[in-house]
């Protein structure tokens, strides 16, 4: 870890310490209420995320790739668990878990951009329906195949764009690519937090009542605005200038919000509130990572196009 | 020693691959009386998963009921079912001797053991949610009026471990524990079976999928 990374994590630690103290103070003063309980669970989960990410950063590139491989695995399993797949999908699911997932991350580890950028969208896309047709079950055939492909795109391809940031060669920024990941995750996750806080404090007008009743216009505008400011303020850890950082932060925050909406629509359709029950107070892995799924690939390609 | 090692390995693997989670009403406090954990049956892994989600002290006195025709076939299977799982074997067909095929189960209950039991008698490979129960469950409640029945609905294991395929898929499985109950004395066979079936299928709707 270099000086900037240490500084960033020290700042995060100090910030979380403050949040923990406030949370515990509120719990001590007001007793156990639902909102404060939820707040403290969220703070606890944030500690967990910062520590896991910090340890992986300290251990280096391959540890980060392995970490996101694990995240993809949990996300993919949550997604496919909710799908009504049938016996005939066995080989397609087997390939999704045991081939597509590890191969995608292996290609990132060996830095083969030409293949990892098309492996799932092209090769796996063609392979899955072939395997499904061998299964011999024509019932809802296209629907089933498309759903498995979609799960792989979201949970593996999109999430793998995060460690793929480590493969980018930006002149004058050598050895600091981990900070690209830190910036993205911090900005997008903070946007979620700010949206939650602004929505709770000021929320009146619902943005998408049929998708997610808790998302309000006030939360959206306030959350995206504040997180974009933080993204701009942290421009010194990125290769961007202040104004570039603002624009990119706005793009990833808007995509993150849209990602949350899309994933809510799927949950609604399947009749569940959360994707899983992995982290207390946060639902499953996909509930936590849905905004990153949508923001990461675009963020990756913006940097790749303009900075390399 | 080998059995203990194998047991930890199988339980750990089953929990990791399926992410098995128990939901619903499963207080394991009042545990002096034998309990019949009964569940839907779609995979060979059913009893392993149910067994794995029980707390260790309950698991020690809970024995899975398994088909003698499958588990008694080879020395390896016999070792696994007896030494690793402490199972009770039941003859499912061709009962030529005069004894009731349920005798080993009665013996286990008389010893104070609890049982894991699949009242459908065989794995359900159809599209139906549940096959009609065999009468075994009724005779167990007849013989043991104080027997506590604990319905458990197992979701997704048939997708995670489909029959006839080599590798399990790491899909999430949930076990939904319903309210436990006793069958009132003198309840007839049809009523007992119907009540137990309803108690089990009711859990299906509650299972978060």
Q: pLDDT tens digits, residue range A262-283?
A: 999 999 888 888 888 776 666 7
CATH of the domain at B152: 3.40.1130.10
pLDDT value for B208: 46
Token digits of residue A251: 């793009």
Min Cα distance A101 → chain B (Å) is: 13
Q: Give the DSSP H/E element, type plus range, for residue B175.
A: strand B174-177
pLDDT value for A35: 80
Is B28 part of any domain?
no
Q: CA nearest B21 in A: which residue?
A: A277
Is B18 part of any domain?
no
The residue range of the domain holding B39 is: 33-162+170-206
Is B12 part of any domain?
no
For residue A277, list chain B residues with Cβ-Cβ distance below 8 A: 21
Min Cα distance A74 → chain B (Å) is: 9
For residue B208, list chain A residues with Cβ-Cβ distance below 8 A: 272
Q: How far apart are CA A239 and CA A257, in angstroms?
A: 24
pLDDT value for B41: 92
Instruction: Choose the closest CB to A93 out of B169, B172, B208.
Output: B169
Average pLDDT value for residue range B193-197: 93
Across A162-250, where does the E strand assignment appear? Answer: none
Average pLDDT value for residue range B22-32: 69
Complex ipTM: 0.83
pLDDT value at A89 more than 80: yes
Domains in chain B, number: 1
Q: Please answer yes or no on whether B209 and A271 come within 8 Å at the CB atom.
A: yes
Q: Please answer yes or no on whether B169 and A97 come within 8 Å at the CB atom.
A: yes
- Among A188-202, A245-259, B12-26, B45-59, top mean pLDDT goes to A245-259
Instruction: Choose the closest CB to A77 out of B21, B167, B171.
Output: B171
Is B17 part of any domain?
no
Is B62 part of any domain?
yes
The reply to whether A73 touches chain B by the CB within 8 Å rule is yes
pLDDT value for B138: 92
Instruction: Choose the closest CB to A276 out of B156, B169, B172.
Output: B172
CB B35 within 8 A of CB B148: yes
Average pLDDT value for residue range B158-187: 88
Residue B35 pairs in a beta bridge with B148
pLDDT value for B124: 86
Q: Give the global pTM.
A: 0.88
- Among A92-96, B65-69, B142-146, B176-180, top mean pLDDT goes to A92-96
Instruction: Choose the closest CB to A80 out of B21, B171, B209.
Output: B171
The reply to whether B171 touches chain A by the CB within 8 Å rule is yes
Q: What is the DSSP letter of B147?
A: P
Q: What is the DSSP letter of A279?
A: B
Residues in B 9-48 with any Cβ partner in A closer than 8 A = 19, 21
For the stretch A9-62, pLDDT in tens is 999 999 999 999 999 998 888 877 778 888 888 888 889 989 999 999 999 999
CB A196 within 8 A of CB A223: yes
């Amino acid at each position: 870890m270099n000086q900037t990374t240490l500084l960033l994590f020290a700042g995060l630690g100090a910030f979380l310490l403050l949040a923990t103290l406030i949370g515990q103070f509120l719990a001590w003063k007001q007793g156990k209420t639902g909102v404060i309980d939820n707040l403290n669970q969220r703070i606890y989960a944030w500690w967990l995320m910062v520590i896991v990410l910090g340890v992986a950063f300290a251990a280096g590139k391959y540890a980060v790739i392995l970490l996101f491989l694990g995240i993809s695995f949990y996300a993919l399993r949550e997604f496919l668990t909710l799908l009504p797949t049938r016996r005939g999908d066995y080989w397609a699911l087997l390939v999704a878990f045991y081939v597509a997932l590890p191969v995608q991350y292996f290609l990132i580890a060996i830095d083969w951009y030409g293949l990892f950028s098309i492996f799932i969208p092209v090769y796996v896309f063609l392979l899955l329906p072939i395997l499904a047709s061998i299964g011999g079950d024509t019932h809802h055939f296209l629907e089933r195949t498309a759903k498995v492909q979609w799960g792989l795109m979201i949970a593996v391809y999109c999430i793998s764009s995060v460690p793929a940031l480590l493969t980018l060669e930006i002149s004058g920024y050598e050895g600091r690519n981990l900070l690209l990941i830190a910036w993205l995750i911090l900005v997008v996750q903070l946007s979620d937090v700010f949206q939650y806080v602004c929505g709770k404090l000021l929320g009146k007008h619902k943005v998408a009542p049929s998708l997610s009743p808790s998302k309000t216009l006030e939360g959206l505008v306030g959350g995206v605005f504040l997180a974009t400011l933080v993204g701009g303020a942290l421009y010194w850890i990125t290769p961007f200038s202040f104004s570039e950082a603002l624009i990119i932060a706005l793009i990833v925050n808007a995509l993150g919000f849209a990602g949350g909406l899309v994933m809510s629509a799927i949950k609604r359709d399947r009749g569940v509130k959360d994707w899983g029950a992995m982290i207390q107070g946060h639902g499953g892995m996909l509930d936590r990572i849905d905004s990153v799924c949508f923001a990461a690939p675009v963020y990756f390609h913006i940097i790749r196009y303009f900075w390399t | 020693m080998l059995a203990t090692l194998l047991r930890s390995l199988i339980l750990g693997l089953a929990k990791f691959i399926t992410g098995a989670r128990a939901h619903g009403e499963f207080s394991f406090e009042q545990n002096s009386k034998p309990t019949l954990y009964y569940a839907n049956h779609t995979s060979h892994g059913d009893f392993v998963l149910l067994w794995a989600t029980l707390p260790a002290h309950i698991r020690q006195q809970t024995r899975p009921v398994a088909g003698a025709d499958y588990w008694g076939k080879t020395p390896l299977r016999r070792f696994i079912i007896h030494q690793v799982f402490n199972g009770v074997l039941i003859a499912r067909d061709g009962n030529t001797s005069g004894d009731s095929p349920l005798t080993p189960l009665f013996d286990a209950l008389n010893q104070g053991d609890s049982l894991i039991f699949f009242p459908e008698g065989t794995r359900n490979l159809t599209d139906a949610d549940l096959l009609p129960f065999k009468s075994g469950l009724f005779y167990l409640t007849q013989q043991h009026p104080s027997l506590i029945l604990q319905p458990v609905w197992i979701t997704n294991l048939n997708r995670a471990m489909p029959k006839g395929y080599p590798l399990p898929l790491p899909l999430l499985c949930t076990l939904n524990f319903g309210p436990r109950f006793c069958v009132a004395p003198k309840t007839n066979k049809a009523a007992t079976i119907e009540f137990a079936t309803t108690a089990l299928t009711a859990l299906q709707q509650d299972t978060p999928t």
